Structure formats: structure tokens, C-alpha cells
Amino acid sequence: MITLYNTYQDQQLLPLLRESNDAAFTEIYQRYWDRLLVTAMHRLGNMDEAREVVQDVFCNLWRRRDTVQLDYSLNTYLSVAVKYEVLNRLAVKNRQQRYQLHMARNWEEATPDTENLLSFNELQEQLASLVKALPEKCRIVFQMSREKGYPRKKIASELGIAEKTVEAHLATAIRKLRSGLGHLFTLLLTLLFLSR
């Protein structure tokens, strides 16, 4: 007997998804792909990137299928997942653009000696690695605050969380980065983020 999963409610599909039911996953994919693509496209303005974002969200859903716990509806979960992925991509783009602009401005002003440039680049790579290792929400909040310059209130609004939660994520991020970078933490943050 063929089961018609398109007649199932989301809450009926989730237990099947947790059991690795391919047909249930396919139904969720087909049910939400278009609307998630429209959301990603609206925010990114690039169809290829929007497709990648939605594909990544569904890949993550499948990878985490046996542990996924929803506090809200599946629609909300997937919409928030797309929003986080889009914000992450925009933060990376923003950081790259700021870095290129910074390098263009400073190229004519000074010619740094190779040793100092290499040390700075290594330090920057170490910071990027530490930021990447932060828990997902903590990393997104940190990047929105330090790389995009968003105030806490805007971050809270964008992510749909309380300002106190934003503050907690920032405190956690700074504590972990300070621990990972030691005495160079303050210098690096000053050089990279506070000079924007």
C-alpha cells in the first residue's frame, strides 16, 4: 500500500523523519522548498546563493533528523534556519568587503614589513578559526555585533530573541575568544573590529 504523505500534517511527518523515512523527508522538502527559496532570494538577491542556502538547510535537517527537537512549528524552524544561514553568509560577505576596503585604503598609506604582515595574518586566521568554532547562535550574534556593527536591539529583533540573550551570547563569545587568543585578544579586536 502506498502512503500519501502529502495528506499528513507536519507533526505526523516529524516522527517518520526521525526514523529516516525518505518519503517523509521528500514531502517536507517539496512542501517547504519554494517558500524557503523565496525568503532566501529576497534577503540575498542572488538565486544561486539562495538555492545553496535552502539546500544547506535541508541537508542539515536530514543530518540532524534523529535529534531534531522543535519548540515551534516545522515552518518556523525551517524559516529561522534559512534566516540564520542567510545572516551567516551576509556576515562573511560583509567581512570580506570590509577587509578589501581596508586593504585598499591602507595599501597606499603604508607598506608594512613582511614579518608584521604575516604575524597579523596568522593572528587574524586564528581569530577566524575561534569564531567559527563558537556555537552557531553565539557565532551569529558575535558576527552581527562585531562585523556588521549591529546594536544589540537590532540583533535581538532580527533573530527573534531577547536582548538579554544577545548579551549572554556576546559575553560567551568574548570569553571564549579571549581565552583562545590570550593577551593578544584586545589588540586584535581593536585592529579588526573597532576601527570600522
The answer on 88 and 24 residing in a single domain is yes
**What does the pLDDT read at residue 40?**
93
d(CA 167, CA 128): 21
Residue 9, pLDDT > 80, answer yes
**Is the pLDDT higher at 96 or at 185?**
96
The answer on 166 and 142 residing in a single domain is yes
The answer on 190 and 98 residing in a single domain is no
The answer on 118 and 171 residing in a single domain is yes
d(CA 14, CA 102): 47
The answer on 96 and 34 residing in a single domain is yes
pLDDT average, residue stretch 188-192: 55
**What does the pLDDT read at residue 190?**
55
What's the domain range around 80? Answer: 1-110
d(CA 75, CA 69): 13
How many independent structural domains does the chain possess? 2
Q: What share of the chain is helix, strand, coil (3-state, %, to 5)?
A: 80, 0, 20
Per-residue pLDDT reduced to its tens digit, 57-101: 999 999 989 888 888 889 999 999 999 999 988 887 777 777 777
The answer on 129 and 39 residing in a single domain is no
Query: Domain boundary residue among 110, 143, 159?
Result: 110
Please choose, from the candidates 21, 86, 93, 27, the residue with its C-alpha nearest in 3D space to the C-alpha of residue 57: 86
The CATH number of the domain holding residue 126 is 1.10.10.10
- Secondary structure (DSSP) of 104-163: HHHHHH----HHHHHHHHHHHHHHHHHHHTS-HHHHHHHIIIIIS---HHHHHHHHT--H
pLDDT average, residue stretch 3-22: 88
**What does the pLDDT read at residue 68?**
82
Instruction: Please tell me the pTM assigned to this model.
Output: 0.50
**What does the pLDDT read at residue 1?**
46
The answer on 87 and 174 residing in a single domain is no
Per-residue pLDDT reduced to its tens digit, 116-156: 555 667 777 777 788 888 888 888 888 888 878 888 888 88
The answer on 18 and 54 residing in a single domain is yes
**Is the pLDDT higher at 185 or at 123?**
123
The answer on 124 and 98 residing in a single domain is no
The answer on 97 and 26 residing in a single domain is yes
